[in-house]
A and B are shown apart, each in its own frame.
Chain A
């Protein structure tokens, strides 16, 4: 008792428990209407503060009161039902209508008589194929900075594309014209924009993907999976069809499930040089550690209302029921960056997500078909900042000789400047047809120096060697802030597609 008061008197911190995620970001789980299963597929914002939400069961709901501090204030109204699976939804401020991306159609919905239920369902575009295979999901975006809608189309199954443009990203113009935009898509889980309006999608581990990835959709690019490349014949605007990956990257026999003898020679970093349209993934969302099934891409555009991570991206995961955080930069014209764990503990698999103007992330989904750690069959939740800033690595930038880290709070120079506070391993995945793959080609570099920045909130790490094309996994367990607290998350995975010259 006496000791306790002495501590308070001197203002020293008590042996406080290490920080936990819920200290900084709160998850609220909403009740949803009992007459349905609210398997959230996509969310967008309406100008009056309501949300518009599409579900796997083909329903569209408007949601009121989800921003209230009292979760029981939420209410739902059914706007439309009977659509073929809604995995993209967008409010168009120009015509004030709702655009839904369904399996084979982008539908514009209008409520003409103002009764809160859609009456007119117009086909905006049905210009891609549908074969009846369950795997052919269509993930749709919001309106981009040009006023277009994007849709990324899953292959038929994991390996091939039996109907036009499965395995592609398409843009739909305001007049309904469909423009083939990127090839090489495998199994998209989410589609979103960064703070500049650049478009990204999340792809899933599988053939040609050792891990889930966050990929930059640059028009004209080939994103890695050659399964849909025959549709270049229908896309003259895309130019010539890319050459295929080297034959030794394919499985023993395409129809059999044989692993190729002799190892996995294919590497993204090498094949990029041969296949000129091939764009490497911006960030590998390291399999099993960050997640197993990346989905929604949510940009923090709240200018500080969601904490210190303005303009960074949050990636949801359907398998791990979590959100991860991505910081991106452009090096030699290529997007690359780092992914950090951010928040675990959502109630089901997450599929759709959106941040509102007040810095609240609304998200939800289901575990149906592949399972999820959350445990519930479906959920609708929000994630809000508590107002308390976590101690985290803020940004990680590649340098010619290492990395520069900035932090969300002033760091303790002693621990931050101590080489023993850090460790790094580098690895990559094979770029090959066989499904998924191990972390391979491991390199354990030396951390040569850790120079704390003059402002006391950054560290420049000198590391050798740096390996182009590898994921650089950095642990920073030893770093403390001025108050002596450890970092909330102590690992980051940086995908080093390019090493900057300066």
Chain B
């Protein structure tokens, strides 16, 4: 079983610095409002809330659209500076808003950005930001819908949507595992407390910092290749499965075969050991019983020693 650690020391901060705007390809220069879509009222309500709602509507306006406020309207609401007009000053905030969120998504999805190329990735992010604005004070989970967006993205792309969606699913599993709680892992010694006559109905309790995912594309191979410094081609469709988990501060990805996935998913679903291991007999029907048992026990030991489980539950108790 191949296991790959991830060094996340480069994860970006949620800092108080102002982000510099990187103008997108289709962005129009700020100018008088002529775009009928989402035209912004002039500031008629000068209460604090009225000002904030007016300002926020401008900042949240997609960069692919003309800022829906005229210079005269901006001057009514805002002061010009020594060297920039009121509208140009307002636009600094709009660029900063979009750039910050694009950087956040790039931080969560570095492989997807590589696969699509920076320009296409930023376009995708701008669609994402428009469809899924943040409602949380925290950006940790802002990017959670990227795989869904990739799957439903109607525009043509040189990279198959299914590949993008799978890759985003893998990268999001890593984010989730970073933030999930974890407990001390179950050890092989811990298994020795299970009475021999209770093995069949014992259930394993999974590490909460674990995600098991199945893909139509070999995205973990692609991801690992990128991490090793290669520039891999977009692979053809080929089913794959990966378990992503954290052990202490280290994030790991482990490739799984189809039979491994069947057994592990049954264990994670809380199936008793007897039933879950019985899945292997069906998946490994081409092997004799002795070989099947030997193979499954090897997987089992590997998963236990990797920290995929935290305890054993027998009946309503645990050990």
B partners with A? no
Measured CB to CB, the residues of B under 8 A from A are none
